């Protein structure tokens, strides 16, 4: 089976990674494709002996790595025995290995915390780096598993347009609705009372609603079976989406929003959600062409 047909999941032996395996298996089953489990094996690059020793003939770093893959494969098979599973031990650093494995794949799935995480870190450094650079959609499994809508953040950016397509597909697979949300800044809340009444709040709200509807209309027509609600919310984007994540089963956003700086590969709102959302987060990068 080709990599292009697969969902890829990274594992490191942590409980978070095994949770990601379960979610990745479910995603692969929905897509009717295979699952590739990948473990990065960095020790050969450091010229460390990875084989068994005389004292521990069945031990060694390679044996430990193979055990991680075997455990993850067992978890995937238990989650859905019909999904074809392959497991690969790939030499290299975690971020580079995962980015390489994701190239051409349909989805990359990661846990939010790895074995190397410190108690104070809410998101592992590998997950941050991979999500910032990966052209493939990245699902970071965090928060709670609950029924609820797929919440889609829409801001009119190219990344947001790509996220719309993924959100509708996820909602169809999950048999739930899309809640498409546009967070806007109502200037009427900050205008001085002494200023002339040039600002029309109703007209501004209507324009925001029209932009939201336009952003989802084309994809909505392609998926008439998916229920859709739209919601305009006034406030700070990150804060409002985090609040909505408490009732969502999945949050879908673009990697970079409309207000992002050119040098940033991962927008501030996406980073907030990856660190603090109460549900899994799917980050989708716009790929021109």
What is the tens place of the pLDDT at every residue in 138-164?
999 999 889 999 999 998 777 678 899
231: confidence class by pLDDT, cuts 50, 70, 90: very high
Residue 42 has pLDDT above 60, yes or no: yes
pLDDT for the residue 121: 38
What residues contact residue 115 under an 8 Å CB cut-off, 6+ apart?
Answer: 12, 13, 14
pLDDT for the residue 232: 92
% of the chain at pLDDT higher than 90:
51
Same domain? For 133 and 38 the reply is yes
Q: Cβ–Cβ contacts within 10 Å for residue 238, how many?
A: 21
To which H or E segment does residue 93 belong?
Answer: none
Residue 81 sits in a domain whose CATH number is 3.40.50.620
Range of the domain at 185: 150-284
Contact 14, 115 (CB under 8 A): yes
Q: Among 141, 161, 193, identify where a domain stops.
A: 141
The per-residue pLDDT of the chain, averaged, comes to 82
11: confidence class by pLDDT, cuts 50, 70, 90: very high
Residue 120 has pLDDT above 50, yes or no: no
Contact 15, 114 (CB under 8 A): no
Same domain? For 122 and 168 the reply is no
Q: Summarize the confidence of residues 21-43 as an average pLDDT.
A: 93
Residue 264 has pLDDT above 70, yes or no: no
Sign of CA dihedral 148, 268, 140, 152: positive
Phi, psi torsion values for 224, nearest 5 degrees: -65, -15
Cα separation of the two ends of the chain: 26
Helix (H, G, I), strand (E, B), or coil: what is residue 140? strand
Residue 166 within a domain: yes
The length of the chain in residues reads 289
Residue 238 within a domain: yes
pLDDT for the residue 114: 63
Q: How far is CA 45 from the centre of its chain?
A: 29
pLDDT for the residue 184: 81
Range from 89-103, 193-207, 243-257 carrying the lowest mean pLDDT: 193-207
pLDDT for the residue 72: 96
Burial (CB count <10 Å: 0-12, 13-18, 19+), residue 217: exposed
Q: Summarize the confidence of residues 205-229 as an average pLDDT.
A: 91
119: confidence class by pLDDT, cuts 50, 70, 90: very low
Distance separating alpha carbons of residues 129 and 39, to the nearest angstrom: 16
pLDDT for the residue 155: 82
Residue 51 within a domain: yes
pLDDT for the residue 234: 87
Please name which of 273, 286, 282 lies closest in space to residue 123, comparing C-alpha atoms: 273
Residue 56 has pLDDT above 70, yes or no: no
Same domain? For 119 and 191 the reply is no
Q: How many domains does the chain have?
A: 2
Residue 289 within a domain: no
Residue 131 within a domain: yes
């Amino acid at each position: 089976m080709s990599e292009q047909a697969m969902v890829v999941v990274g594992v490191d032996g942590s409980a978070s990674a095994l949770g990601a395996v379960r979610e990745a298996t479910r995603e692969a089953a929905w897509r009717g494709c295979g699952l590739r489990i990948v473990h990065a094996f960095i020790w050969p690059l450091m010229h460390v002996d990875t084989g068994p020793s005389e004292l521990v003939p069945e031990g060694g770093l390679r044996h430990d790595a193979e055990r991680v893959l075997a455990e993850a494969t067992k978890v995937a098979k238990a989650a859905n025995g019909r999904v074809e599973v392959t497991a690969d031990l790939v030499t290299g650093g975690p971020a580079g290995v995962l980015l390489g494995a994701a190239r051409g794949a349909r989805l990359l799935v990661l846990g939010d915390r790895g074995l190397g995480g410190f108690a104070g870190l809410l998101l592992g450094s590998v997950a941050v780096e991979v999500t910032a650079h990966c052209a493939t959609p990245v699902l970071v499994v965090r928060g709670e598993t609950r029924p609820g809508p797929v919440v889609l953040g829409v801001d009119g950016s190219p990344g947001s347009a790509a996220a719309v397509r993924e959100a509708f597909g996820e909602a169809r697979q999950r048999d739930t609705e899309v809640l498409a949300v546009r967070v806007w800044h109502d200037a009427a809340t900050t205008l001085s009372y002494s200023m002339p009444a040039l600002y029309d709040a109703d007209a501004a709200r209507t324009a925001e609603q029209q932009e939201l509807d336009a952003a989802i209309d084309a994809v909505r027509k392609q998926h008439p079976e998916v229920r859709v609600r739209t919601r305009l919310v006034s406030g700070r984007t990150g804060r409002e989406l985090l609040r909505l994540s408490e009732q969502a089963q999945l949050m879908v956003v673009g990697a970079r929003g409309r207000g992002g700086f050119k040098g940033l590969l991962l927008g501030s709102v996406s980073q907030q959600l990856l660190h603090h959302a109460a549900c899994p987060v799917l980050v989708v990068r716009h790929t021109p062409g």
